[in-house]
């Protein structure tokens, strides 16, 4: 038996780069990152095994991402597409994100072409189905969602080397969905659970978002925002990073109107002021009332 140099395979694919980028740019999500590393290692090994003729069929890579809204499922799916592309499991490595409306038709005979069209667009990349459980509506036995599921299953089985399907949604609803669709569940090898962010992680995410948009908090604003996060997490419809993004969006709005009010008839506004979000921009939020 001959040997194979795993680090050479790894170096060739430059997958380490993507994994490091993932580590650097995504805050928290430790179990998710670990799973992605595991999958990457598994693919490198299986590639090496194939080069020695020990394995013929490509591994099944369909996945399910479960977690609350705003925990980074779509972002990680994008990175996943990149990782799989670099490892040579996807020819193109693009991501096609769809929901029920893109797959299921409105009348008889509409669903199959619609689903197939989406599948064709996703070939060579990742098909990301957000809130996949809406495909299955048990309360309506004539629902066309079932038809879409069957076509999906067929493609997942027969065109495994052409596309990777990632289903995403809330954990409990996905579990119900898999229980009522055992065919789907058995074709998905990797279930990855996205935990909620802690307050500190959300603060780190906020800092990153501001930095990328060339803004910054002043010292008081930093403190105010930490309080804001603590209060916001207890309120309804908290969507993790998405809520944070929206909060920052609103703070930028308030900052702009504050600067506008101050600017009337006074000296020119320095660049520093344009970049800084002050505590009052955050404390004006409804959450503090």
CB 13 within 8 A of CB 88: yes
Q: Which of residues 13-42 bind another protein (CB under 8 A)?
A: none
Return the sign of the alpha-carbon dihedral for residues 126, 131, 134, 136.
positive
Q: Which of residues 71-110 bind another protein (CB under 8 A)?
A: 91-92, 94
Residues whose CB falls within 8 Å of the CB of residue 58, separated by 6 or more in sequence, listed in order: 46, 89, 160, 161
Kindly state whether residue 195 participates in binding another protein, applying the rule CB under 8 A.
no
Contacting range for another protein; rule: CB under 8 A; set: 114-122, 185-193, 200-208, 223-231:
114-122
CB 79 within 8 A of CB 22: yes
Kindly state whether residue 124 participates in binding another protein, applying the rule CB under 8 A.
yes
Q: Dig out the tokens for 113 from the structure.
A: 């072409």
Q: Least distance from C-beta 91 to another protein, angstroms?
A: 6
d(CA 4, CA 9): 9
Of 5 and 117, CB closest to another protein = 117
Q: Least distance from C-beta 87 to another protein, angstroms?
A: 17
Kindly state whether residue 58 participates in binding another protein, applying the rule CB under 8 A.
no
Of 84 and 119, CB closest to another protein = 119
Kindly state whether residue 162 participates in binding another protein, applying the rule CB under 8 A.
yes
CA 60 remoteness from chain centre: 20
CB 225 within 8 A of CB 206: yes
Of 40 and 163, CB closest to another protein = 163
List residues near another protein by CB under 8 A: 91-92, 94, 113, 117, 119-121, 123-125, 159, 162-163
């Amino acid at each position: 038996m001959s040997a194979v140099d795993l680090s050479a395979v790894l170096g060739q694919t430059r997958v380490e780069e993507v994994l490091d980028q993932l580590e650097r740019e995504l805050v928290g999500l430790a179990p998710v990152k670990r799973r992605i590393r595991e999958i990457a290692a598994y693919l490198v090994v299986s590639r090496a095994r194939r080069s020695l003729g020990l394995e013929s069929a490509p591994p099944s890579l369909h996945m399910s991402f479960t977690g609350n809204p705003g925990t980074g499922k779509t972002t990680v799916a994008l990175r996943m597409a990149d990782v799989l592309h670099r490892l040579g499991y996807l020819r193109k490595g693009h991501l096609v994100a769809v929901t029920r409306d893109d797959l299921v038709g409105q009348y008889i005979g509409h669903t199959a072409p619609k689903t197939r069209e989406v599948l064709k667009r996703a070939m060579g990349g990742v098909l990301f189905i957000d809130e996949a459980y809406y495909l299955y509506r048990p309360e309506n036995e004539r629902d066309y969602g079932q038809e879409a599921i069957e076509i999906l299953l067929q493609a997942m089985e027969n065109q495994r080397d052409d596309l990777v399907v990632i289903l995403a949604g809330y954990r409990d609803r996905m579990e119900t969905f898999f229980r009522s669709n055992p065919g789907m569940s058995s074709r998905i090898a990797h279930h990855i659970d996205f935990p909620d962010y802690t307050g500190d992680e959300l603060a780190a995410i906020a800092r990153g978002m501001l930095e990328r948009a060339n803004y910054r908090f002043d010292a008081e604003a930093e403190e105010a925002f930490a309080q804001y996060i603590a209060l916001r997490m207890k309120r309804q419809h908290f969507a993790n990073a998405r809520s944070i993004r929206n909060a920052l969006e609103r703070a930028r709005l308030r900052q702009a109107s504050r600067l506008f009010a101050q600017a009337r008839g006074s000296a020119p506004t320095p660049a520093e002021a344009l970049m800084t979000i002050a505590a009052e921009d955050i404390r004006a939020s409804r959450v503090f009332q």
